[in-house]
């Protein structure tokens, strides 16, 4: 079943061309759309990240219907027995993100059935250290070495870029710091996932 957050979904085909882990890219978009479409509901439990995601997503939309919706969500929580923040495993939105992650890992695994796609991914694609082993669970054993090649190529490229950035820093040149975010994503996945 598609969730309301799927309305503006990024496809795997679109995400693989963005130069970062396609699952992270999809889940980042899904998570923010989810925060903007969350409706008041009974027993809504939210973790620290998702409470702040709801609050943050309203800044630019404070005079819109979504802003009114988040206000209603927060009022419902305040009027209910207060139980504090939910642990990640209890968070309603975390459960939805996890379900989307599994669906998208399956979708990406299906794409790995195409030899041309595997060839493109091993030459150009990216996977983070969080999603690569998860993807292996959904692909046939014969495809797992290709995932290892993708990760190793990503690691080598990031290492070279980071070494070059460190050399720039030694010369007082601070442009190009986006490499730090790319390395962080490679190491631990997209922030908040």
3-class SS of residue 159:
helix
pTM of structure:
0.81
Token pair 């679109």 in the structure block, residue: 14
Rounded mean pLDDT of the chain? 84
What span, in angstroms and rounded, lies between the C-alpha atoms of 150 and 121? 7
Assigned token pair, 145? 């070495």
Indicate the SS3 state at residue 189.
coil
Sign of torsion over alpha carbons 34, 39, 43, 47 = positive
In this predicted structure, the answer to whether residue 59 has a pLDDT above a threshold of 80 is no
For the cut 60, the answer to whether the pLDDT of residue 20 exceeds it is: yes
50 pLDDT more than 90 = no
For residues 94 and 45, the answer to whether their CB atoms sit within 8 Å is no
The proportion of the chain whose per-residue pLDDT surpasses 90, expressed as a percent, equals 43
């Amino acid at each position: 079943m598609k969730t309301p957050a799927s309305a503006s979904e990024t496809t795997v085909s679109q995400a693989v061309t963005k130069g970062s882990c396609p699952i992270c890219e999809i889940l980042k978009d899904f998570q923010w759309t989810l925060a903007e479409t969350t409706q008041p509901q009974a027993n809504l439990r939210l973790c620290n990240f998702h409470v702040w995601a709801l609050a943050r997503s309203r800044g630019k939309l404070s005079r819109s219907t979504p802003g009114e919706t988040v206000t209603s969500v927060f009022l419902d929580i305040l009027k209910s027995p207060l139980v504090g923040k939910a642990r990640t495993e209890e968070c309603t939105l975390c459960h939805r993100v996890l379900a989307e992650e599994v669906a998208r890992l399956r979708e990406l695994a299906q794409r790995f059935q195409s030899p041309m796609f595997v060839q493109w991914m091993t030459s150009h694609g990216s996977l983070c250290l969080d999603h690569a082993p998860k993807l292996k669970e959904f692909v046939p054993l014969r495809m797992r070495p290709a995932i290892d090649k993708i990760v190793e190529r990503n690691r080598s490229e990031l290492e070279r870029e980071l070494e070059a950035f460190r050399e720039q820093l030694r010369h007082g040149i601070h442009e190009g710091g986006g490499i730090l975010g790319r390395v962080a994503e490679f190491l631990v996945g997209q922030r908040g996932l």
